[in-house]
Chains A and B, each alone.
Chain A
Amino acid sequence: MQIRFDKLGVVIAAIVAYAAFAAPFATFRANRIVPGQARSILEALPTATGTLLLAIIVAAALVALFRTPLVLRLVASVVVLAALALLIGAAGTFLTPAGNTLARVSPASGFWILIFAFTLLLADVLTRLNLSPLARVGVLVVAALAIGLLLISGSWDNLSILKEYANRADSFWAEGSKHVTLALGSLAAAVIVGLPLGILCHRVERLHAGVLNVLNIIQTIPSIALFGLLIAPLGWVATHVPGAAALGIRGIGTAPAFVALFLYSLLPVVANTVVGLAGVPRAANDAARGMGMTDRQRLFGVEFPLAFPVILTGIRIVLVQNIGLATIAALIGGGGFGVFVFQGVGQTAMDLVLLGAVPTVALAFAAAIVLDAVIEMTATKRRVETA
């Protein structure tokens, strides 16, 4: 039998070799703000466990390197990812001196690169398996449950990021819910305003260029500058419109963050609505009128369903963008996970930065997978073909 290399596998194996043998697996610090010391896999874990982990990694890298059956590749990537997840917790316990509450252990570059490499392998396998949209969401749920179990089990409790969490458990969930509210709320507002605006732009030729240009310009304003621009008008509204202040409208805080995210969201929603409606086959529109549909019936019965997958694509862009952008709401006192990021930057405490960044990335990632699945399902159900 001829031995053949897998193209992506070669890259993965090279990355893994570097990460496992040359890069640090974990970082140890005497307290949360001093510079850390690197620890390799063998230094970060009891000898037997460390050797076992290395053996698993090498074996999996070999599976990746050669052309092997998909199932084997799937098992290899899942086993390594599970082992890494469990053992980084073990490294925390192993490296922290007993009774020392100040020492901090965090995952280092080697760990992150290994996670990246084997996630790449897993993603490749899942793509090649050609999973249905529902199955992909299923994989996401299983992964989320596994991470949830690890968190509850306490096996990560000795990692620095969870120590930061332990100190801020209450505010973590409060800021988290503020973050999600900001991202989803501004999305909802953008959809409520953007859909009709997009329909209007589609119907009224003269509005088209003007509206899209204005939204384009807004999109290019840096977020900090946009916050600055909003302070004055919102401050004015707060002092001059009765009841506005009671609603929480102020120059700084949640209101300008919400308004900024809303403004950024408008362009993708409006533009995709316009593009989606423009892409409705002429013949379908013509037939709808010829069959005796009123304008409303045509909009809801023909144009909208046919444009829906494209509009959803816009909503997906907005949701992922908003989950990320909501981080900067913290800059003007708007709350959200950004609070930890900016506190962490201020205190040069990387762990605190991660406490804000990791959940943000995870949320964005999950949102992308779920919406991609929804888009694919609606697109296959209402396939758009003009032929």
Chain B
Amino acid sequence: MIEIEGITKRYDSTTVVDDVSMVIEPRTVCVIVGTSGSGKTTLLRMINRLVEPTAGVIKLDGADNRSLPGYELRRSIGYAIQGHGLFPHRTVAQNIATVPVLLGWDKARIKARVDELMTLYQLDPDAFGPRYPHELSGGQQQRVGVARALAAEPNVLLMDEPFGALDPIIRNKAQEDLLAIQKRFGTTIILVTHDMEEAVHMGDKIAVMDAGKLVQYAKPAEILANPASAFVGTLVGASERPFRLLSLGRVRDAVEDGSAEGEAISGDASQRDALAELLWSGRPALPVKGADGKPLGRVTVDGLVKRAARPA
């Protein structure tokens, strides 16, 4: 659990982060979203003390994060920086091994962990391990950056716009991979983005920042339904709201009895994808199949449209 209590950061007279308090539950994904310059990065970097706060306290599992020297604290917290920040003079394997080496793990354990992470990220350890970062594609570099942040099995992972530089297709894949890994290891992730779409997709909770202040901290559905201010409303985007709301739900949760013609859609797909498919193909209903391929029922345009309406 991460407790942020009255955190403020001032540079000279400008207040960059202004009295922010929030609690991040363990094993959840918290997305900090806001326009550029709203203080997201600064807030994130105060958690691992790359930036020292002017006032306030941050507690990790109850302990003040100032009870350890900064460098020791940072070794226990995963950090994936904006871009990827790989060391250009170190190979992929050496990059991933950075924190384990700092922690003094023995060689065999480091090698095993590096191989495990590379395999997890679909990078063949023998082929990619000895390469240098500039020999990788943007998507591969990004994956290595996250693998490096995860190397020492941290409970907490801080990510600063980790997918910003990726093209949409690779970006989607990277988001899915991250969610899968988060579920598998139960990592608490705090992710910074300026993209509301990403925030809604990734976050268990979303923290909206504006000019250094935390203006709303709630579940995605709540933010979409009841934006706390006009600013949050703009960020959510009035014309996007219904679709974002649909993107939160799975098709399996919108299944109705009955059957329909045509290719079946997976129950795991988002309701938004289902609606798009219905509108595009001009049909009133689609059959739904489960993960095992068995038919579950159908989704209808009418049913989805009701779900896209503002919650009462």
A387 interface residue, CB < 8 Å from B? Answer: yes
How long is the Cα–Cα vector from A387 to B79 in the complex, in angstroms? 19
Tell me which of A286, A288, A292, A306 has the highest count of chain B C-beta atoms within 10 A of its own C-beta.
A292
A7 interface residue, CB < 8 Å from B? Answer: no
A385 interface residue, CB < 8 Å from B? Answer: yes
B81 touches A292 (CB 8 A): no
Closest Cβ neighbor of A302 among chain B residues: B87
Selected from B50, B72, B84, B132, the residue in CB contact (under 8 A) with A283 is B84
B102 touches A283 (CB 8 A): no
A291 touches B88 (CB 8 A): no
A286 touches B81 (CB 8 A): yes
- Find chain B residues with CB under 8 A from A288 CB: 87
Q: Assuming the A-B contacts A283-B81, A297-B102, A383-B132, are A290 and B86 also in contact, with contact meaning beta carbons closer than 8 angstroms in the complex?
A: no
- Distance in Å from the Cβ of A177 to the closest Cβ of chain B? 37
What total of A-B pairs shows CB separation below 8 Å?
Answer: 64
- Find chain A residues with CB under 8 A from B73 CB: 292
- Distance in Å from the Cβ of B94 to the closest Cβ of chain A? 10
How long is the Cα–Cα vector from A291 to B102 in the complex, in angstroms? 9
Closest Cβ neighbor of A384 among chain B residues: B88
**How many residues on chain A are close to B (CB under 8 Å)?**
22
- Find chain A residues with CB under 8 A from B87 CB: 284, 287-288, 302
Instruction: Mark A279-307 against chain B: 1 for CB-CB distance below 8 A, else 0.
Output: 00101101111111110010000100110
A382 interface residue, CB < 8 Å from B? Answer: yes
B98 interface residue, CB < 8 Å from A? Answer: yes
- Find chain B residues with CB under 8 A from A167 CB: none
Q: Assuming the A-B contacts A293-B102, A383-B134, are A283 and B74 also in contact, with contact meaning beta carbons closer than 8 angstroms in the complex?
A: no
B134 touches A290 (CB 8 A): no
Selected from B83, B84, B89, the residue in CB contact (under 8 A) with A383 is B89
B289 interface residue, CB < 8 Å from A? Answer: no
Residues 65-104 (chain B) with a chain A CB within 8 angstroms: 71-76, 79, 81-89, 98-99, 102
- Find chain B residues with CB under 8 A from A284 CB: 85-88
B48 interface residue, CB < 8 Å from A? Answer: yes
A292 touches B72 (CB 8 A): yes
A292 touches B134 (CB 8 A): no
B298 interface residue, CB < 8 Å from A? Answer: no
Selected from A290, A294, A383, A385, the residue in CB contact (under 8 A) with B81 is A290
Q: 20 A-B contacts, Cβ less than 8 Å apart?
A: A283-B81, A283-B84, A283-B85, A284-B87, A286-B50, A287-B81, A287-B86, A288-B87, A290-B48, A290-B85, A291-B79, A291-B99, A292-B73, A292-B74, A292-B99, A292-B102, A305-B89, A306-B89, A382-B88, A383-B134
Q: Which residues of A contact B (CB under 8 A)?
A: 281, 283-284, 286-294, 297, 302, 305-306, 382-387
Task: For the complex of A and B, list the 6 residue pairs with the smallest distance between their C-beta atoms, beginning with the closest.
Answer: A287-B85, A292-B75, A292-B74, A382-B89, A290-B79, A283-B85
